[in-house]
């Protein structure tokens, strides 16, 4: 079951169940939300299903979560709804927290280098903010 609540101007989707969570997914700023809000309800449902799966199963198959080779810790969450393929870039913070960065609909076989660079910049921004808060 999912609960939705309006917090400021962000919709937060919270998984409510009795299953053990191996990971926690964090939405950083509005990078992912802007993409999510623009999708159809079917795509949103599939994204939520995939994110819940990633949180709740111990070993996540590469069909759902895969490290992007040649990057410093960037992963892609893979979502397919019908013939449409979506990618959500993310990274880990403290092993059990997955931070969502940018997302896009994949239209070509090869993943765009610009999207990977954007994810790397978001990761750097996130960890710079974490350092700033820890030092204050």
The helix or strand, by DSSP H or E, that contains position 118, with its residue range, turns out to be helix 113-135
User: Which pLDDT belongs to residue 8?
Assistant: 42
120, 87, 89: which is closest to 105 by C-alpha? 87
Residue at 127 is within a domain: yes
State how beta strands 24-27 and 65-67 pair: unpaired
For 69-93, what is each residue's pLDDT tens digit? 999 999 999 999 999 999 999 999 9
C-alpha span between 86 and 104 (Å, rounded): 6
Where residue 114 sits, what CATH number does that domain have?
A: 3.30.2310.20
Residue 130 within a domain: yes
Would you give the DSSP letter of residue 97? E
- DSSP E strands in the chain: the ranges are 2-7, 10-15, 24-27, 65-67, 75-81, 84-93, 97-106
Strands 65-67 and 10-15, bridge-based pairing: unpaired
Q: Considering its fold, how many domains does the chain have in total?
A: 1
- Position 80 in a domain: yes
Which three-class secondary structure state does DSSP give residue 87?
strand
Q: Is residue 3 part of a domain?
A: no
In 3D space, the residue among 125, 78, 74 whose CA is nearest the CA of residue 104 turns out to be: 78
Residue 81 within any structural domain of the chain? yes
Domain that holds residue 120: 20-135
The answer to whether residue 28 is domain-embedded is yes
**What does the pLDDT look like over 84-136, one tens digit per residue?**
999 999 999 998 999 999 999 998 888 889 999 999 999 999 999 998 888 87
């Amino acid at each position: 079951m999912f609960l939705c609540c309006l917090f400021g101007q962000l919709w937060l989707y919270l998984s409510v169940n009795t299953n053990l969570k191996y990971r926690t997914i964090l939405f950083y700023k509005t990078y992912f939300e802007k993409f999510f809000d623009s999708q159809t309800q079917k795509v949103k449902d599939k994204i939520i299903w995939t994110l819940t799966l990633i949180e709740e199963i111990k070993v996540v198959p590469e069909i759902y979560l895969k490290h992007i080779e040649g990057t410093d810790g960037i992963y892609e969450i893979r979502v397919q709804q019908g013939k449409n393929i979506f990618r959500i870039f993310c990274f880990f913070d403290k092993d059990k927290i997955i931070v969502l960065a940018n997302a896009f609909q994949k239209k070509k076989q090869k993943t765009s280098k610009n999207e990977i660079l954007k994810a790397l910049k978001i990761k750097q921004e996130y960890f710079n903010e974490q350092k700033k808060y820890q030092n204050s």
